[in-house]
Structure 1
């Protein structure tokens, strides 16, 4: 019997994961990750992790599997929370869920599981894994989940071959309604439990509230940029090379306060992210204002009217070599090579046609259609059919 450690989060997906593995004859151990108890950054008066760990324990009892809680709050603070504050302060928008999978669940947590003699670590992610022998060695493929509405392969876009080799995703072949039906049938307490909306494994937290506790408010101005802004309306120069053209198209617009009019005030540019509409509290425009750029050094937010505003759209982005990751190392591009793929720049976004261009210092992703609110710090992930091949942090 192979031993599997399941990250039991107290939700329905991980509960059903443990149930299915037990049915398949694995020896299953349930571990609950406690990732937070820093009272200096209170999250809410309620204590969701207690409720979640309690649910996880009840599920483990019901399934007759060993259960314990592991405290990973120190590593979580170091690798996820501090990094998040640091990125927001620089005016970038990190993705804590992608990082949590790479740094916590499939690294720190996986090490604990392996020290317990586990052959595999299983999570309740909606994605699939396949194995193929290529040139005499096993290659692991990360595939989209069967449920198109719930596919979570994007959140695992930073996993390595070593991590995938030891990972199992039993609910990836199922739809969410099927998972709930199995939980109900098995009489699991989590069958009807709502999906958590919080930060990865911290529980119920609203990001702006969380950030405000560490990043001090600082009043600044909101500037509205008109569609007549010169850079939107200049024709493209002639380029010496494709790389020069890509570099030009990947470069974001630079604004100054004089390029538009001051329409309001804000409490800190680092609380805002490109494409954001809520929280600006500026009226008097026909269409709502959207954030098109933030300048954290000058503490200015630049906005444009309407979601078709030219300042929101670009069709090329860049990933530096340091931030470039191939799940399929065997398919990694060499300098000068290109690849036709489908890509997304955020979870839940439909896949869009794109071309990868490998250059000396990184990788350009050129989309067929202009993308709204390409945000530095977020992850771009690219696919062939339903296989995720690689990803990178947008520079």
Structure 2
């Protein structure tokens, strides 16, 4: 019997994952991860870890599998929380869920599991794993979940071949209603439990309060930039190479306060992110204001009216070499090679047609249609059909 350690989170997905593995004849052990917790910033009744660990324990008891809790708060704080503070300080917007999978679940947690003699680590993610033989080698594939509404392959976009080789995703072939149905039939305590929201394993966090622990409030101005601004109407130059054109398409507009009208005040540009609408507290505009850029150096937030504001849209983005990751290392592009893919820049976004262009210092992703709020620090992931083959941090 192969031994599988399941990350039991106290939710319905991992509960059913554990049950399915047991049914398939694996020796299953449930492990609950206690991650960094700070009551001052968590919306406590949303996702208290104590309730979750209790639920996970009750599920393990019901399924008749061994269970224990491990405390990963130190590693979580070091690898996720500190990284988040650092990124926000630089004016970037990190994605903690992607990092949590790469750094915690499939690294720290996986190492603990393997030390406990596990052959595999399993989670309740809605995605699938495939294997193919290529040049006599086994290659692992990260495939989208069958439930297109819940597909979570994007959150696993940074996994390596080594991590995938030891991972199992038992519910990837099921839809959420089917998962709930199984849990109900088994009378599991998690059957009707709401999906957890917010930071991976911390729960819902009030982001400004969370960031204020490290990043001090600093009063600044909110500037509204008109859609008629010259920056959006400048004629594109004639390009001699494709790379020149891509550089032009990804170039950041450098706004200054003179480019618009001061319409309000804020408590710190580093608390805001591109595309954000809530929390600006500026009224009296025909359409709501959206953040089109933040300047953490001068502490200014630039906004535009309406979700069609030209300041929100771009056709291309760039990923530097050191932030570039291929799940399928065998498909990595060489300099000057291109690849037609489907790509997304955020979870739950519909896949969009795009072309990858590999250059000396990184990779350009050019979309067929302009994308709204391409945000530095977030992840772009690209697919061939339903297989996620690579990803990178938007620079």
Query: Please, what TM-score do these two structures have when normalized by structure 1?
Result: 0.98
Greater mean deviation of Cα atoms: 226-235 or 2-11: 226-235
Residue in structure 1 matched with residue 173 of structure 2 by the alignment: 173
1:164 aligns with 2:176: no
Greater mean deviation of Cα atoms: 194-203 or 364-373: 194-203
Deviations 1:76-122 (A, max 9, x none): 00000000001001100000000000000000000000001000000
Residue in structure 1 matched with residue 42 of structure 2 by the alignment: 43
Output the CA distance in 2 between the equivalents of 1:258 and 1:106.
48
1:1-395, aligned counterparts within 5 Å? 1-38=1-38, 42-46=41-45, 48-395=48-395
The alpha carbon displacement at 1:10 in A equals 0.1
For structure 2, the 5+ residue unaligned runs are none
Deviations 1:334-393 (A, max 9, x none): 000000000000000000000000000000000000000000000000000000000000
The alpha carbon displacement at 1:227 in A equals 1.5
| 8 Å CA contact retained: 1:342, 1:382 | yes
4+ residue segments displaced more than 6 Å: none
Deviations 1:46-93 (A, max 9, x none): 471000000000000001100000000000000000000010011000
The alpha carbon displacement at 1:285 in A equals 1.1
Output the CA distance in 2 between the equivalents of 1:37 and 1:288.
35
The alpha carbon displacement at 1:213 in A equals 2.5
The alpha carbon displacement at 1:206 in A equals 2.7
For structure 1, the 5+ residue unaligned runs are none
| 8 Å CA contact retained: 1:224, 1:303 | yes
The alpha carbon displacement at 1:20 in A equals 0.4
Any idea what SS the aligned residue of 1:14 has? helix
**Residue 45 and residue 156 in structure 1: after superposition, are their counterparts in 2 closer, same or farther (change >3 A)?**
closer
Output the CA distance in 1 between the equivalents of 2:344 and 2:203.
26
State the aligned residue count. 394
The alpha carbon displacement at 1:212 in A equals 2.3
Output the CA distance in 1 between the equivalents of 2:320 and 2:83.
18
| 8 Å CA contact retained: 2:37, 2:202 | no
The alpha carbon displacement at 1:129 in A equals 0.3
Output the CA distance in 1 between the equivalents of 2:3 and 2:77.
29
CA RMSD, aligned part only? 1.0
The alpha carbon displacement at 1:203 in A equals 2.1
The alpha carbon displacement at 1:22 in A equals 0.4
The alpha carbon displacement at 1:45 in A equals 4.6
Greater mean deviation of Cα atoms: 46-55 or 118-127: 46-55
Output the CA distance in 2 between the equivalents of 1:367 and 1:353.
6
| 8 Å CA contact retained: 1:12, 1:183 | yes
Any idea what SS the aligned residue of 1:170 has? coil
Any idea what SS the aligned residue of 1:118 has? coil
Query: Please, what TM-score do these two structures have when normalized by structure 2?
Result: 0.98
Greater mean deviation of Cα atoms: 224-233 or 41-50: 41-50
